[in-house]
Chain A
Amino acid sequence: MTVLIVDDHPSFRASARTLLEAEGYNIVGEAENGETAVEAARELHPDLVLLDVQLPGIDGFAVADQLRKLEDPPIVILTSSRDRADYGRCIGECGAHGFVPKADLSGAAIAAFLVA
């Protein structure tokens, strides 16, 4: 499964890439903000976008909404160092398939949303 990682912190992008690759995911690209994320998704057609909520400029919810409107919309899993409860209903309403706290990120956690 191809994955695009979107986060403004390089250390997290590196850790997430190592972790997911170790579990068999194919990381096809990285983006550090919302605008480049949408462009990369349009270009790379990833199966899944791991999308940080708090991005400089447009936030993860707006990016998720734009990704949903693409011709071939990817699966969007939101992630954040904050708790899901901090965002209320925003996660469900933006078109994302799920939310994984950054500290709990793993291939299995992502796979759980894919099965669902």
Chain B
Amino acid sequence: MIFARRPWLFFGPAAVFAGAAAVALTLTSDHEEHPALTTVLLLFVSMSFVIAGLIGWMRRPSNRTGMLMVAVGYGVLATSLYEANYAVPYTIGTIVGSVFIAVFLHLMLAYPSGRLLSGSGRTLVVAAYAAAVVAPLADAMFPQDQTCKPHACPDDLVLLSRDHAAHVATTALSTVAAVILFAGAFWLLVGRWRRATPAMRRQLRPVYLAGGLSVVLLAIGFIVTPFSGVGNTIVSVALIVTFTAVPFLFLAGLLGTTLARSAGVGTIFSAVPERASPGEVQEGLRAALRDPTAEVAYWYEEGGHYVDVDGNRYELPPDTRHRVVTRLDYADSPVAAIVHDAALRDEPELLEAITGAARIALERDKLLVEVKARAERYRAVLQAMPDLMFRISRGGVYSGYNAPNPRDLLSDVVVGRKVHDRLPKELADRVLEAGQAAVDRGTPQMIEYELEFSGETRNYEARFAASGEDEFLMIVREITDRKRQQAELEASRARIVAAGDDERRKLERNLHDGAQQRLVSLSLSLRLAQRRVRSDPDGAEELLEGSREELAQALEELRELARGIHPAVLTDRGLEAALEALAARSPLPVEIRGASCDLPAQVEAAAYYVVSEALANVTKYAQASAVEVTVERRNGTAVVEVADDGIGGADPLRGSGLRGLADRVASLSGKLDVESPPGSGTRVRAEIPLE
């Protein structure tokens, strides 16, 4: 549609022709009492609306306010038909002469977008258009006796009756309808004003002031016209002033936006100097957009989300009737977003010009905000770390520190002091050497050291990383517990190895002293018997008998040894049978409970040796009358317990046997406890995790 793009091409010339016709009709009218004044007013009012409307229409084609203003202008021109000296145009003019008032109401209720957004508004406007045609039509059908100068009016083509009572009735009905419509319109305008945001009110204020007054005056006019000629004149003059002011104030609003646009762009650039902070940029934008609630969010590329001017994560709110988001993208990549008053959408030129200018500034500031966001994140990470942190210059002077627990510091005063003033010389030398190496080589360094602190020797680990050309970061973590656990682990491993060696030595000795000696004697006896078998058969037989006994003893000793290395019954028939075998060999009555649970082989072996060693100790030292052995699974743990009713008072550290057992259990991440209060028996308890 060419009218949509260039409305002035048609409506401009058309208004000129219509204006000329109106002038001709008015000036030649036989029944117009003030043709000159009426002509001037008619032209001035109508053309004000047409010209202002066309300018608005061209500037904001999508906004229908301009179109409605043009319609009001044409409506005003249409009233000149009433001045015609011919019956047809005169009658039409009588009927359509009030339509411009309905269009004006439409304009006011639809301002500033030009669209009726509420159902009540639409209803009221439809009623107004209907009333604007029906009421004059009724008036023309039942006119007053003397409408025009005597005998000057053309024929009223829709005249039905000049009955006075009928005229009064129709006039009363029209007046009531008009007053109700104007009151309703005024009510809607007031409600709209009350709900409006500051930015919206800024737009509404001038037009509502003049338009609202016009609506009130129109209502008053309808009321006073039938009763007072003077009152009607006063109201009419006031109405002409306020009514005509509407297009001028509308134009002033448009001009204001244009000025604000250039001023806004200027504000952006003047308020955002080279080193402006993101906060200052936001303030500049607020001033330029004339929206003190506007917020700027920057796109944080690394995090994949928006952040506010302080670098905190920011979620863009969804668009609502009052607040909307305008995204600023550059080459399909988000740069920033402005959350602002929805009313600014009705000033698109302003918004566009300012966001265009802001995009450049924000693109630059995005980097600043990203750096800030990153710094915030690092600060959060650093604060969450339990380690001591020191910033130290290359020359060895502390320039900053972070101590989650200030009691960890050797001394309260840190910043400004030298490394050699706070630390022992040898350690200070190592710290400086490692820190300087981190700066020079660009690779992190690490040292471990011991320090006397709070009356005890503690272990620390310090890491060094360059934090500038002439500065390094020293991160200190106490590792005393780790060192102790490491030492305990190493000692435990050493004991396990030593115990293994010891066991092998004992085994070799036992073999050598036992079975081997018996076999040697057996060999010698057999050789002797062999020599005597012919010369001394009785002696040989005696030797052979001795050899048989020697062999039987050697076999028994070998069996005993083999059992000590690993109980075959455990491998062949499981823990329950092995424990029963142990119980059978024990001189004390042993009750076994729950050994039937299925356990991993190494846990079964550990359980077997715990019971074996504990039973041996009970036999040797406890003076007990009975022993109870329990093996069970409990919450993912194998629990092995040997309890006796003996004299108690056992020292867990006394023999190497219990320590060896503790090591064996610890090698399976378990623990061994011995409770042995004097006089109350002894309870050896091993807990071994099964996963």
Contacts and interface: CB of A to CB of B under 8 A. Distances in A.
A106 B525 CA distance: 12
Interface in A6-59: 9, 11-12, 14-16, 18-19, 22, 54
A9 B513 contact: yes
Interface string A94-116: 00000000110110000000000
Contacts of A9: 513, 517, 521
Given A12-B517, A19-B528, A103 B512 contact: no
Contacts of A14: 521
Contacts of A19: 524, 527-528
B541 to A, nearest CB: 15
A22 B520 contact: no
B517 A11 contact: yes
Which residue, of B517, B519, B550, has the highest number of chain A Cβ atoms within 10 A? Answer: B517
Contacts of B520: 12, 15, 81, 102-103
A106 B516 contact: no
Interface string B497-536: 0000000000000001100111111011101100100000
A81 B528 contact: no
Given A54-B512, A81-B516, A11 B531 contact: no
Question: Which of under 10, 10 to 19, 20 to 34, or 35 or more describes the interface residues of A?
Answer: 10 to 19
Which residue, of A11, A14, A82, has the highest number of chain B Cβ atoms within 10 A? Answer: A11
Contact of A18 (B512, B518, B528): B528
Nearest to B515: A81
A81 B524 contact: no
A9 B525 CA distance: 15
Contacts of A105: 524
Given A54-B512, A82-B512, A12 B521 contact: yes
A101 to B, nearest CB: 9
Nearest to B524: A15
Contacts of A15: 520-521, 524-525, 528
Nearest to A105: B524
A13 to B, nearest CB: 10
Nearest to A13: B521
Given A19-B527, A81-B512, 9 more contacts: A9-B513, A12-B517, A14-B521, A15-B521, A15-B524, A16-B524, A102-B520, A102-B524, A103-B524
B523 A103 contact: yes
30 contacts: A9-B517, A9-B521, A11-B517, A11-B518, A11-B521, A11-B550, A12-B520, A12-B521, A12-B524, A14-B521, A15-B520, A15-B521, A15-B524, A15-B525, A16-B524, A18-B524, A18-B528, A19-B524, A19-B527, A19-B528, A22-B528, A81-B512, A81-B519, A81-B520, A82-B512, A102-B523, A102-B524, A103-B524, A105-B524, A106-B527
Interface of A: 9, 11-12, 14-16, 18-19, 22, 54, 81-82, 102-103, 105-106
Which residue, of B513, B520, B521, B531, has the highest number of chain A Cβ atoms within 10 A? Answer: B520
Interface of B: 512-513, 516-521, 523-525, 527-528, 531, 550
B527 A81 contact: no
For the complex of A and B, the 3 pairs showing the least CB-CB separation, nearest first, are: A15-B524, A102-B520, A11-B521
A105 B518 CA distance: 14
Nearest to B525: A15
Nearest to B553: A11
Contacts, number: 41
A86 B513 CA distance: 16
Contacts of A16: 524
Which residue, of A18, A19, A103, has the highest number of chain B Cβ atoms within 10 A? Answer: A103
Contacts of B519: 81, 103
B531 A22 contact: yes
B361 to A, nearest CB: 90
Which residue, of A12, A15, A22, has the highest number of chain B Cβ atoms within 10 A? Answer: A15
A39 B48 CA distance: 147
A1 B531 CA distance: 21
A12 B521 CA distance: 6
Nearest to A9: B517
Contacts of B517: 9, 11-12, 81
B53 to A, nearest CB: 122
Contacts of B521: 9, 11-12, 14-15
B262 to A, nearest CB: 107
Contacts of B527: 19, 106
A81 B513 CA distance: 9
Contacts of B512: 54, 81-82
Contacts of A12: 517, 520-521, 524
A16 B525 CA distance: 9
A105 B531 CA distance: 14
A109 to B, nearest CB: 11
B507 to A, nearest CB: 15
A102 B521 CA distance: 8
Nearest to A18: B528
A12 B523 CA distance: 10
A85 B72 CA distance: 129
Contacts of A103: 519-520, 523-524
Contacts of A22: 528, 531
A102 B527 CA distance: 12
Contacts of A11: 517-518, 521, 550
A22 B516 CA distance: 24
Which residue, of A9, A54, A81, has the highest number of chain B Cβ atoms within 10 A? Answer: A81
Contacts of B516: 81
Nearest to A54: B512
A19 B543 CA distance: 12
Contacts of A82: 512
Contacts of B518: 11
Which residue, of B519, B524, B527, B528, has the highest number of chain A Cβ atoms within 10 A? Answer: B524
A22 B531 CA distance: 9
A15 B517 CA distance: 11
A16 B513 CA distance: 17
Contacts of A54: 512
Nearest to B513: A9
A11 B516 CA distance: 12
Which residue, of B512, B518, B521, has the highest number of chain A Cβ atoms within 10 A? Answer: B521
A61 B521 CA distance: 23
Contacts of A106: 527
Contacts of A81: 512, 516-517, 519-520
Nearest to A15: B524
A105 B528 CA distance: 11
A9 B403 CA distance: 72
Nearest to B531: A22
A19 B527 CA distance: 8
A109 B571 CA distance: 46
B341 to A, nearest CB: 101
A81 B517 CA distance: 7
A17 to B, nearest CB: 10
A11 B525 CA distance: 10
B538 to A, nearest CB: 15
A8 to B, nearest CB: 8
Contacts of B523: 102-103
A106 to B, nearest CB: 7
B521 to A, nearest CB: 4
A15 B524 CA distance: 6
